[in-house]
C-alpha cells in the first residue's frame, strides 16, 4: 500500500532517474500522485508508459541526453547510478561524470531542487557504537561511498554557487524487511522512503541539507535532529522484525570488520582488478 504523504504540493513535471532500479521501481507508481507528469529515466528497459508518464532511456554519462532529460522539469529525484561497491570505471562514469551532467543540466534549465540518493556508505567507516549527526564528516567505506561523498559535495557547490537546492538522502537499507542484524539499525521501509522523498521535495526551504534515510528503529547510529526542517516523520520500525532476525542470525563475530563498522560488508568488499 502506498503511504500518500499528507501534502497539498503538486508538481507540474517531476523527474525520477534510476526508475528501473530497485528503489526506482518502488517510487515510480508512488510519485505519480504528487505530479501532473512523471518523467522517468534509466539506461535500462523501463516498460510501458503509464498514464501521465514520459519515458527516457538515457545513460548518466551521456551529456547531450542528460541535457534533454532535464528540460521542462520542476524537480528531480535522482536515484540513478551505481548503488553498490563495484570497479572504479562504472562508478566513475555513473556517480562522478553522471552526477556532474545532472547538475549541469539542472543549472542550464533552471531546475530548482534535486533530491539526491546519497548513501549511509558516505560514513560507513564510523563504528557501530557511535551515533552520527547529519553534519558528520565523510568516512567512506568504499569507492562507492567516496563517489556519493563527491555527489554531496557537488550538490553543496551547486547550491552555494547557483542556488539549486538539494536534499542529500544518506539512505540506509531500503528493502521490504531488514535482512540481518545490521539492518535493524539501518532499515528504511518503502512507505517511509516515500515519506522521506516527498518531505524532501516539498519542504519550503532546504538549501543544501543532509538527512539519514531510516525508519523509526529502536537501534540507530544516526540522529536527524538537524534535519528537522525537512519535516520527515518515519512511521515504521524494524522492531517488529527483531525476533525473527535475531533467530536467523543468533551470533555476531565481533572480529569481523563488517560487524564493527556501520557500513557492514561494504568495508571489506573489493578491491576489483
Ligand atoms: C546502499 O547504499 C546500497 O545501495 C544498498 O544496496 C544496501 O546495501 C544499503 O546501502 C545498505 O547499507 O544496506
Q: Which among 168, 172, 173 is the best mutation to test ligand 1's pocket, defined by most ligand atoms within 8 Å of the CB?
A: 173
Domain-embedded: residue 57: yes
Q: Is 89 among the domain residues?
A: yes
> Mean pLDDT over residues 182-208, rounded?
98
**Phi and psi torsions of 61, nearest 5°:** -80, -5
- Furthest C-alpha separation in the chain: 53
pLDDT in tens, 29-59: 999 999 999 999 999 999 999 999 999 999 9
Ligand 1 center–CA 153 separation, angstroms? 20
Cα(99)–Cα(92) distance, integer angstroms: 10
DSSP, collapsed to helix, strand or coil, labels residue 68 as helix
Asked about 212 being catalytic, the answer comes back as: no
Look at residue 271 in the predicted model and tell me its pLDDT. 87
Single out the catalytic residue among 34, 103, 126, 144: 144
Please give the DSSP secondary-structure letter assigned to residue 59.
-
Kindly tell me the burial class for residue 255, based on how many C-beta atoms sit within 10 Å of its own C-beta (0-12, 13-18, 19 or more).
exposed
Domain around 141: 11-268
Mutate to test the pocket of ligand 1, among 25, 27, 84, 222 (most ligand atoms within 8 A of CB): 84
For cell 556508505, the residue is 121
In a domain, 2, yes or no: no
Is 60 exceeded by the pLDDT of residue 4?
no
Smallest CA separation from ligand 1 atom 7, residue: 173
Give the residue, out of 217, 261, 266, with the most ligand 1 atoms within 8 A of its beta carbon, to mutate for a pocket test.
Answer: 266
d(CA 247, ligand 1 centre) in Å? 23
Q: Tell me whether residue 83 is in a domain.
A: yes
DSSP assignment letter at 136: P
Asked if 96 and 102 touch (Cβ cutoff 8 Å), the reply is no
Pocket residues for ligand 1 (CB within 6 Å)?
83-84, 119-121, 173, 186
Q: Is residue 4 part of a domain?
A: no
Counting residues of the chain whose pLDDT is more than 90, the rounded percentage is: 95
Q: Contact at 8 Å (CB) between 156 and 238?
A: no
Residue carrying C-alpha cell 519550503: 204
Q: What are the residues facing 127 on neighbouring strands? A: 261
Residue 171 Cα: closest atom of ligand 1: 2
Q: Are residues 25 and 31 in contact, defined by beta-carbon separation less than 8 angstroms?
A: no
Q: What angle do CA 245, 120, 263 make, to 5 degrees?
A: 60
**187 and 214 in contact (C-beta within 8 Å)?**
yes
Ligand 1 center from residue 83 Cα (angstroms): 7
* Tally of structural domains, the chain: 1
Residues contacting 199, CB < 8 A, separation 6+: 5, 230, 231, 232, 233
Residue 6 lies in a domain: no
In a domain, 74, yes or no: yes
Does residue 1 fall inside a structural domain?
no
Q: Where are the beta strands (DSSP E) in the chain?
A: 11-17, 35-42, 53-57, 75-78, 113-119, 132-133, 165-171, 208-213, 222-223
| Pairing assessment for the beta strands 75-78 and 113-119 based on DSSP bridges | parallel
pTM of the model: 0.96
Tell me the pLDDT band of 9, cut-offs 50, 70 and 90. Answer: confident
- How many CB atoms neighbour CB 93 within 10 A? 16
- Predicted confidence (pLDDT) at residue 108 exceeds the cutoff of 90: yes
Q: Tell me, what CATH number does 243's domain have? A: 3.40.50.720
Amino acid at each position: 500500500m502506498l503511504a500518500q504523504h499528507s501534502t497539498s504540493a503538486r508538481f507540474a513535471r517531476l523527474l525520477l532517474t534510476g526508475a528501473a532500479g530497485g528503489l526506482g521501481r518502488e517510487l515510480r507508481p508512488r510519485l505519480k500522485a504528487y505530479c501532473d507528469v512523471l518523467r522517468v529515466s534509466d539506461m535500462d528497459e523501463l516498460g510501458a508508459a503509464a498514464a501521465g508518464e514520459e519515458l527516457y532511456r538515457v545513460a548518466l554519462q551521456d551529456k547531450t541526453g542528460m541535457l534533454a532529460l532535464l528540460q521542462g522539469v520542476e524537480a528531480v529525484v535522482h536515484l540513478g547510478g551505481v548503488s553498490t561497491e563495484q570497479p572504479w570505471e562504472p562508478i566513475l562514469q555513473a556517480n562522478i561524470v553522471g552526477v556532474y551532467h545532472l547538475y549541469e543540466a539542472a543549472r542550464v534549465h533552471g531546475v530548482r531542487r534535486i533530491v539526491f540518493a546519497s548513501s549511509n556508505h558516505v560514513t560507513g567507516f564510523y563504528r557501530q557504537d557511535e551515533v552520527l549527526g547529519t553534519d558528520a564528516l565523510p568516512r567512506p567505506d568504499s569507492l562507492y561511498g567516496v563517489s556519493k561523498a563527491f555527489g554531496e559535495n557537488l550538490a553543496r557547490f551547486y547550491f552555494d554557487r547557483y542556488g539549486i537546492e538539494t536534499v542529500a538522502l544518506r539512505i540506509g537499507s531500503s528493502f521490504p524487511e531488514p535482512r540481518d542484524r545490521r539492518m535493524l539499525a539501518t532499515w528504511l521501509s518503502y512507505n517511509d522512503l516515500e515519506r522521506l522523498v516527498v518531505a524532501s521535495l516539498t519542504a519550503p526551504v532546504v538549501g543544501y541539507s543532509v538527512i539519514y534515510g531510516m525508519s523509526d528503529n529502536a537501534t540507530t547510529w544516526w540522529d536527524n535532529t538537524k534535519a528537522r526542517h525537512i519535516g520527515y516523520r518515519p512511521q515504521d520500525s524494524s522492531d517488529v522484525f527483531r525476533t525473527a532476525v535475531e533467530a536467523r542470525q543468533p551470533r555476531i563475530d565481533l572480529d569481523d570488520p563488517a560487524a564493527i563498522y556501520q557500513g557492514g560488508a561494504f568495508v571489506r568488499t573489493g578491491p576489483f582488478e
